[in-house]
Amino acid sequence: MDMVAQPRASVGLGIGGKVADRAFAFDGSDKPIALNGAQKAAVIVQMLLHAGGAIPLSVMSEATQVHLARVYASMGPINKATVAKVLTDFSTHLDAHGLSFPVDTTAALDALEGNLSDSLLERMRQIHSPTLPKNTWELIADIPPEELAEKIAAESPRVGAIIMSKLPAAASSNVMELLEIETANAVTFAISETEAVQVETVDIVAQTILNSGSGNAEGGAFTAKPVARAASLLNAAGSAQRDTVLEALDALDAAFAAQVRKAIFTFPDILTRLKPTDIPAIIRVLPGDELNAALKAGSNDHVEVVDFILENLSKRMADAIREELSEVAPLSGKPAETAMGKLTAAIRQLEESGDLTLIAREEPEE
């Protein structure tokens, strides 16, 4: 076989219509030309193709294929000494080569089939599939809360903590109300153990839920710290359940419970932690019917909070809201808790977006 690369046309394959410049010119010398790794690879490819061989270059990434094509197009003729040197280097590399591993996750999972459990293999394939929906947790939030509560009760508290941490506040509140008190306590406490949970773990949990359903430590899966996530979960819970869970947390981890208490923001906290100048902002982000429902619910036990909100609006707007409230049916129990929770959730959303800053809670004197 003639091992010398055949002369090629002088125009290369360039990208985007550009012509690839020649890497070097053949000068008739019998000395090996110094080639880099990509150029050596191009020589091997040309030798195999010239001999009628087929190379499955498509297993490489597109970026690698493009780079190889650019180098391949820029080579031009080379002498026999260079070919011999490339062959020697390639042979040495093959002799030193020990093992080859799959080039991507899909190929790796195919190779491991029969050695991993079928359920784990399927979940991992789904996680690494490019067709997975990007709104996974939105889809999970649409699952009926009764079904989610059953799934959480059947899982370990840590898995339950992951699920509750990823659900939107409204959905987690609905699920929380359906959990047995022991499960709710265990899940809330387990949030303190999820600081370093990785994104891959959360993806596996999410896919497990979707498949069975009817419908940031650095590198971690959660952007918020455990205390903030536990507080957010309890913000959305009813006051009775919140107090019960906090008492249980006190017994399990008093330090964590104290931090959660400090981070919780409920309807009565509006009076002491919201600046008067920020009141108009929360009026703008909450729909009128939801605002009226929250104020009507708060007027039962937290009339001073309702007065604080209305007094820091324009007189015209405050009077209009008072008139509307007179026509709203009284709220109590779960509907009242839900209505007030929507207002506090809107305030926390404004805080997270940087549109307002809550006043720090005063530390009790020792």
Per-residue pLDDT of the chain (366 residues; tens, 9 = 90+): 444 444 333 333 333 333 344 455 556 677 888 888 888 888 888 888 887 777 777 666 566 777 778 888 888 788 888 888 888 888 887 777 666 666 556 667 677 777 677 766 666 665 555 444 556 788 888 888 898 998 888 888 888 888 888 888 778 888 888 888 888 888 888 888 777 777 767 777 777 777 665 444 444 555 556 777 777 777 766 677 777 778 877 777 778 878 888 878 888 889 988 999 989 888 888 888 889 999 999 988 899 999 999 999 999 999 999 999 999 898 888 888 888 888 888 888 788 778 888 887 765 554
198 φ, ψ to 5°? -85, 155
Distance of CA 340 to the CA centre of its chain: 29
| Predicted pLDDT at 6 | 40
pTM: 0.41
The residues, ordered by sequence, that sit 6+ positions from 53 with a Cβ below 8 Å of its Cβ are none
| Predicted pLDDT at 9 | 34
Scan for tokens 């400090």, then name that residue.
262
DSSP string, 310-330: HHTS-HHHHHHHHHHHTTSPP
Burial 243-266 (b: 16+ CB within 10 A, else e): eebbebbeeeeeebbebbbebbbb
Alpha-carbon gap, residue 48 to 241, rounded angstroms: 72
Domains by residue range for the chain, with CATH: 1-100 (no CATH), 133-263 (1.10.220.30), 267-352 (1.10.220.30)
By the 8 A CB rule, do 151 and 163 touch?
A: yes
Counts of helices then strands in the chain (DSSP H, E): 20, 0
> Coil, strand or helix: which one is 220?
strand
Closest C-alpha to 286, from 355, 347, 334, 337 = 347
* Residue 52 Ramachandran class (φ > 0 left, ψ -120 to 50 alpha, else beta): left
In Å, the largest CA–CA distance within the chain is: 100
Question: Encoding tokens for residue 343?
Answer: 């207002």
Tell me which long-range contacts 168-175 makes (C-beta under 8 A, separation of at least 24): 168/137, 168/141, 169/232, 169/235, 169/236, 169/341, 169/345, 170/236, 170/342, 170/345, 171/141, 171/145, 172/232, 172/233, 172/236, 173/236, 173/237, 173/338, 173/341, 174/145, 175/145, 175/148, 175/149
Alpha-carbon gap, residue 31 to 85, rounded angstroms: 10
Tell me which long-range contacts 162-165 makes (C-beta under 8 A, separation of at least 24): 162/194, 162/197, 162/201, 162/202, 162/205, 162/221, 163/205, 163/209, 164/191, 164/233, 165/191, 165/194, 165/222, 165/224, 165/229, 165/233
